[in-house]
Amino acid sequence: MIDREEQLALVRAKVRRARPTPPETVAASLPVAVVAVDVSLPHLDRPFDYLVPASMDSAAQPGVRVRVRFAGRLVAGFVLGRVEASEHVGRLARLERVTSAEPVLAPQVAALARDVADRYAGTMADVLRLAVPPRHARVEAEPARPPAGAGSPAAAGAAPGPPQELWARYGAGSAFLRAVAAGAAPAAVWTALPGPTWPAEIAAAVAAATSAGRGALVVVPDHRDLARVAAALSASGSPHVVLSAELGPAERYRRWLAIRRGHLDVVVGTRAAMFAPVRDLGLVVVWDDGDDLHAEPHAPYPHVREVLAMRGLREGAALLVGGLARTAEAQLMLRSGHAHAVTAPRGQVRRCAPAVRAAGEDTEMARDPAARTARLPTIAWDTVREGLTRGPVLVQVPRRGYVPALACVQCREPARCGHCAGPLALPSQRALATCRWCGRTAGGWRCPQCDSPRFRAVVVGSGRTAEELGRAFPGVPVWTSGRDGVLTRVGPQAALVIATPGAEPVADTGYAAAVLLDGWALLARPDLRAGEETLRRWMAAAALVRGAGDGGRVVVLADAGPVAVQALLRWDPAGAAERELDQRTALGFPPAVRMASLVGTGPAVTDLLAAAHLPGQAQVLGPSPLETATGDGQPLARALVRVPLAAGPELTAALKAAQGVRGARKAGDHVAVHVDPEQIG
């Protein structure tokens, strides 16, 4: 039973809830907050105005996280600015709360996010998810101090002068460093010399920027390059912070906050660092811009090179696009006059590069007629044998595994699983053939074409190669480096190192020799960038070998005719990039044109094209069916739309507007729009 007093208390509570609460007064100064709302719908990709309650006046500053009511639900957002009045004629909603008073979104990063969204036909909300890491309240509450991943704080304020001797080997290298040290904003495409010095050269460029009192941002493809550059920065005395997606969420946010608060002005990281809020940015560096790890896999799919180029222009920072090889995009920057080349004279290149031979050269074919069909011809065996007398030898294998592809021994038909039609492979010497898709063993397999029960190897992987070479060179240690385990370094002693592309460890004294196996497997890939990517992978491996003057030798198992092979033999990445750009210009492919890939169900792609007011110069290729399907089994299709470079902004605006029209009428199937895709196969 409820007594009378309790009944009266309940009645009074109901009355209080029924009475309208007086509206809270708004801020006296700049009462309107401009908010970037975390909503990815293209037709709502614009800032919205909200009233700032007086209680939130001091906290609701530009850059802070807030919660607002949008379309009847609470969503997150960032305050972009405060203004006196809104252009909206209706009633404004109020900020619900300030999530944190920490101004995490820097103004320059917000402006860059807008540029990136427009460049890639995406939304600012999607870009901001990439740019600003998720909040950790505990980390925000920690006392401000340099993060654990920083360089030595004792070196702060003692920025050394840029060492000219490293960059003096390049024609315009010293001039570039002088311009950076003077606070200028030059743009350069740097073709690095083979050898172990490129991390130190990046550190010297960073020192030039810090000597002018400005910050620097270096983005590399993976954690191994990250470790090498960080070590070079530490050796040069440059205080820095390492920022990558491999850090835990809390540690990444801790370091990111240290950058935002201005504790450190030099950042080196992987793709996740391209939006790092470095203050007074003086230099941005992207190393090995052809690596596909620089392409963001999430919408709107920005590329590090393009983001840093836009950032350099917006913030008045110098741009350095470096690598052992050169991409067609970097070559276009040179051809258009947007950047200048930093390359070494041919004599210097010959002193640093190893001697490279191709197994398919005419002289080798005359000496060894079986070289064209043998997986390890005589020249390769001789190179390995001689190299092992002087140190470690690197063998690059394009495929991992033991035997990753099988075919019928009689009719050469690819061997496929009887259950799911997936490709069959041999995981080890004594294992049964297994499907790479569903994992079922293929006991009792027979070829559906000729009824033969026997397989043959189509491609030999790194595991089988290590086994074969281990038997051929008994007593020599054999190390493997690949997806299942990546080695970082190897010692100077004789050893065989079998590695897949991108997983080659660094030898302490350089490799005595290297053999690049199965060149056809890389060159024959059905991809626009096959030749460029093959040369990049070969040069990355060959650059780990000692120079020709120190006895370094490289053998590539490929015919000598293709452009990529010739460029490797002459160590001429600039010439290969020039030819690659000429070919793409003639064919009408990026970067000579602006191209957008539209992927979705056939009706959805057709609907998007119909809704888009494409530029008059636009050419539509497709839609054509793809081999993949949606989660519910509907087949996917792809259309390619290309326009001249000058019409690129018009194309992206048209596609984004069409996405907005479909979003507003709640069209069912999503269409992924990818501007200048990395792979067009």
Please spell the DSSP secondary structure of 118-153, one letter per residue. HHTT--HHHHHHHHSPPP-HHHHHSPP---TTB--G
Distances (CA, A) of 289 to 196, 616, 648: 18, 32, 21
Q: Which CATH architecture has domain 25-103?
A: 3-Layer(aba) Sandwich (3.40)
Find out whether the peptide bond into 160 is cis, omega within 30 degrees of 0.
Answer: no
Tokens representing residue 283 in the block: 């230099």
Cβ atoms of residues 462 and 480 within 8 Å: yes
Pairing mode, if any, of strands 478-481 and 496-499?
Answer: parallel
* Three-state DSSP class for residue 607: helix
Question: Higher-confidence residue: 368 or 524?
Answer: 524
Q: What is the reported pLDDT for 153? A: 38
Tell whether the model's pLDDT for residue 501 goes beyond 70: yes
pLDDT for 168-227, tens place per residue?
999 899 999 999 999 999 999 999 999 999 999 999 999 999 999 999 999 999 999 999
Q: Quick one: pLDDT at residue 213?
A: 94
3-state secondary structure of 600: strand
Q: What is the pLDDT of residue 156?
A: 35
Return all residues near 38 (Cβ < 8 A) that are at least 6 apart: 75, 76, 77, 125, 128, 129
At 135 the pLDDT is: 93
pLDDT at 536: 95
CA distance 214 to 280: 5
Decide if pLDDT at 159 tops 50: no
Run of H or E including 335: helix 328-335
Q: In the predicted model, is pLDDT for residue 342 greater than 70?
A: yes
* Averaged pLDDT for residues 318-330: 97
* Domain locations along the chain: 25-103, 139-348, 354-584, 593-675
pLDDT at 659 over 60: yes
Per-residue pLDDT reduced to its tens digit, 113-146: 999 999 999 999 999 999 999 999 899 888 766 6
Answer whether residue 157 shows pLDDT above 50: no
Tell me if 53 sits within 8 A of 94, measured CB to CB. yes
* Locus of tokens 């970037």: 36
In this model, does residue 11 exceed pLDDT 60?
Answer: no
- What is the rounded CA–CA span in Å between residue 579 and residue 176? 26
Q: Is 50 exceeded by the pLDDT of residue 419?
A: yes
The topology under which CATH files domain 139-348 is Rossmann fold (3.40.50)
pLDDT at 643: 96
How far is residue 43's CA from residue 665's CA, in Å, rounded to a whole number?
10
The answer, yes or no, to whether residue 463 has pLDDT greater than 70, is no
Q: What is the mean pLDDT of residues 324-331?
A: 97
pLDDT at 291: 94
Burial per residue of 447-468, b for 16 or more beta-carbon CB atoms within 10 angstroms, e otherwise: beeeeeeebebbbbbbbbbbbe
Secondary structure class of 514 (helix, strand, coil): strand
Q: How confident is the model at residue 464 (pLDDT cuts 50, 70, 90)?
A: low
Better-scored residue on pLDDT, 363 or 442: 442
Of the candidates 122, 317, 148, the one whose C-alpha atom is nearest the C-alpha of residue 239 is 148
Separation between Cα atoms, residue 347 and residue 340, nearest integer Å: 21
Query: What is the spatial distance between Cα 53 and Cα 636, in angstroms, rounded to a whole number?
Result: 49
* Among candidate residues 654, 668, 526, 528, the one with its CA nearest the CA of residue 600: 668
629 by DSSP, 3-state: which? strand
| pLDDT attached to residue 485 | 79
In terms of average pLDDT, the best of 58-67, 471-480, 666-675 is 58-67
CB atoms within 10 A of CB 225: 21
Residue 336 CB burial class (10 angstroms; 0-12, 13-18, ≥19): exposed
Asked if pLDDT for residue 370 goes beyond 50, the answer is no
Residue with tokens 């000729």: 450
At 38, is the pLDDT very low, low, confident or very high (cuts 50, 70, 90)? Answer: very high
> Which of 57-66, 294-303, 456-465 bottoms out in mean pLDDT, i.e. has the lowest?
456-465
What does CATH list as the number for 593-675? 3.30.70
